[in-house]
Structure 1
């Protein structure tokens, strides 16, 4: 009974991550546990919501929330604020329930790339619809989502996302992309690197040569890790005998 009385406290926080946890918990619960949770978390009166519509509304909220900011970090240089990370983790959790292929088709291709391409056009017209912090959060989200595909052993599919991230960054990183967004591209590329470590390493090294600001320790660590992964995968390749 102690656990039962604690459930409302654990799930009582208002925010996108809490809503995502409610939805996933209801999906996974069954039998008596589902009945108890429905009663003590009041799901009978206020259902957690539909997972697909919640993904859409959470992504829209990430773009519209004016509270989102960057925050200084000794390790990352510029990091997302906790509220922004709540959106990223919420979307990551919800999409994980539907699998990488669904996520790639319905979230990344239909929504996320539209946001990023719109932002690229905005940098040319100076008519801003999306804030830099929202764009950086969306890019970090791509890194998180791509890791789902890697975990599902669909690295070949994730490699297409990695190439797209590299192409997106190359279009602007050599010009006037905000430093905070550049960093988000580096960290997302690191998350996706297992799908193509050699190409990712080459790109990050080229970007690094163009940086005009001091490189945070996390960037150096990311490049070092990808370099190790790239060399390790080369060692595992079979020898070709002619």
Structure 2
């Protein structure tokens, strides 16, 4: 089993090894230390690895959207690997650390910079659309950590911000890939406030003339089921 888990090379493997190295105890730790030659290197700090992965996303060679039959304009596999690795590390580091150090200090500033530049602030450097889409998908994934740990009000605030963001998609001529990323993030955050999330997505849906990917329809259905439960 361990051979299957750690046989793939890449950042996700490194993140898995780091988390397992931090959590394993007793004989399991001794076996893995020998099997993976951990005694030959010092463990990385998880927070430092998260920062390096955020930088890796910005420097990713495939900095363009990938067309997907199910998701529409999606992120590349290499960006997704970084996002999943960050998600895993932040699960280990818990919500409070993730919110204070990653969402507040790293991700929201990227969104703010992108919005300001599009509104004509010439002193604010541009941010590639694919980076903004990656940021939105990451916010959605990380928000689920807060939901699992019981911080629903904090996650609700995040979903409300993204809901307001997507409301201006048409008038701001927002790139389609960014719009979809925001919608998928809302679906990820849906349990925090399902009624408001469904209303925001449905309002967005009525304003767009683009073809809606099947993943959006599935996401709306899932959050709508939560609305039914909440009403009951």
Normalising by structure 2, we get a TM-score of: 0.90
1:181 to 178, 182, 186: 178
Note the 1:85-234 alignment, pairs <5 A.
85-125=80-120, 129-234=126-231
CA distance in 1, matches of 2:200, 2:170: 11
CA contact (8 A) 1:88 1:138 kept: no
* Consecutive aligned runs of 4 or more in structure 1 exceeding 4 Å deviation: 125-129
Larger Rg belongs to: 1
Gaps of 5+ in 2: none
Whether contact under 8 Å (1:174, 1:207) holds in the other structure is no
Match of 1:62 among 34, 40, 57: 57
User: Cα RMSD between the aligned structures?
Assistant: 2.1
SS in 1 for 2:38: coil
Residues 125-134 or 41-50, more deviating: 125-134
Secondary structure at the counterpart of residue 66 of structure 1:
coil
SS of the aligned residue for 1:72 comes to strand
Note the C-alpha offset of 1:234: 1.2
Comparing 218-227 with 14-23, greater Cα deviation is found at 218-227
Q: CA deviation at 1:12?
A: 5.1
- Give SS of 2:73's match: strand
Count of residue correspondences: 230
* 1:16-55 superposed matches below 5 A: 16-55=11-50
> Bigger CA drift: 218-227 or 138-147?
218-227
What residue ranges of structure 1 are gaps of 5+ in the alignment? 236-242
